[in-house]
Structure 1
Amino acid sequence: MSRAIKNIFTEGAISPVFISESIAKHATKKDIGAHSIFLGQIREDVVDGKTVAAIEYTAYEEMVLEKMHEIREDIFLKYNLTCMHIHHSLGTVSAGEICLFVFTSSKHRIAAMEACNELVERIKSELQIWGREIFNDESHQWKVNK
């Protein structure tokens, strides 16, 4: 069953209220036995003596959404999931704020955990999303994913 292409992008940081409401909505889904959640947070790294204040995310959105759709389909085929939600920030996200929210649900924990982990790894390695580190002195540089 092919699913519709979903928009994964959120402008700015992903709020804790949005995350908690997303979790709460699943209380009515009685066939779920496990959730796995990954939250990516902006670190206040020090690079060459300068402190990261924020990261500004940009993407070639259409291409990313098509690739994310392929990844979603692969993950749904590989794991017995009830549902999957992915939210990634665009624009500026300050240190300490959430920029990536991946949420998988299934009847059993192993499927939810393994699917969540694979999703995060594939998002980081396969999606054309770029982050520009903005330092406290307002200088900037492109971030290298690790």
Structure 2
Amino acid sequence: MEKERRPKNIFVQGPISPESIAKSIANHGSKTDIGGHSIFLGQVRADAKAEGNVIAIDYSAYEAMALEKAFEIREAVFAKYPLNCMHIYHSLGEVKVGELCLFVFTSSKHRKAAMDACDELVERIKAELPVWGKEILDTQGHVWKLNT
């Protein structure tokens, strides 16, 4: 009997730590049927805006809807590519410039499937997930981030 797949919590409060990324990578060392991994790390940039310089992004989400949408994206990408593993983590709350806010990790027998799946996941997450970023500025103001 196949185990029913359910939405996983992809959200992390605050920045994604390099230690958690290293641990995730290390956990795959025992999976000897994997030949390639692809990783995307999204980092907050210090963009200069007309209103001021970005010093952080405060991420918020409609969590229930976002988790359902992430699950839908995850299942579609699993169906399209021959993947062994897939991990998605997205920050909520404040993430300062230079810190990580998105971690997408795909694994497969061969590198091309892992790379293509990772690319598609990142593009779909940015376009479809109901997550919003309020860019905090050094002028005490803020502007809403547009995903591009």
Counterpart of 1:26 in structure 2 is 28
Deviates further, 47-56 or 80-89: 47-56
Deviates further, 42-51 or 105-114: 42-51
Q: Which amino acid aligns with 1:110?
A: K
Q: Distance in 2 between matches of 1:76 and 1:4?
A: 14
Give the match's secondary structure for 2:22: helix
Q: Which amino acid aligns with 2:69?
A: K
Aligned length: 146
2:31 matches 1:41? no
Q: What are structure 1's unaligned runs of at least 5 residues?
A: none
Counterpart of 2:125 in structure 1 is 123
For residue 137 of structure 1, report the CA deviation from its aligned partner.
2.0
Cα shift readout 1:57-114 (whole Å, capped 9, x = no counterpart): 0000000000111111100100000000000000000000000000000000000000
Q: Which amino acid aligns with 2:97?
A: A
Contact map agreement 2:51 2:139 (CA 8 A) in 1:
no
Q: Which amino acid aligns with 2:35?
A: G
Counterpart of 1:81 in structure 2 is 83
- When the two chains are superposed, the root-mean-square deviation of aligned CA atoms in Å is 0.9
Report % sequence identity: 62
Q: Distance in 2 between matches of 1:51 and 1:106?
A: 40
Q: Distance in 1 between matches of 2:143 and 2:94?
A: 14
Q: Distance in 2 between matches of 1:75 and 1:49?
A: 39
Q: Distance in 1 between matches of 2:6 and 2:30?
A: 23
2:62 matches 1:60? yes
Q: Which amino acid aligns with 2:11?
A: F
Contact map agreement 2:43 2:97 (CA 8 A) in 1:
yes
For residue 4 of structure 1, report the CA deviation from its aligned partner.
1.6
TM-score, with length taken from structure 2 = 0.96
2:78 matches 1:71? no
Residue correspondence of structure 1 range 105-124 to structure 2 within 5 A: 105-124=107-126
Cα shift readout 1:22-44 (whole Å, capped 9, x = no counterpart): 10110011100000000000000
For residue 49 of structure 1, report the CA deviation from its aligned partner.
5.4
Counterpart of 2:16 in structure 1 is 14
Q: Distance in 1 between matches of 2:86 and 2:64?
A: 20
Deviates further, 13-22 or 136-145: 136-145
Q: Which amino acid aligns with 2:75?
A: E
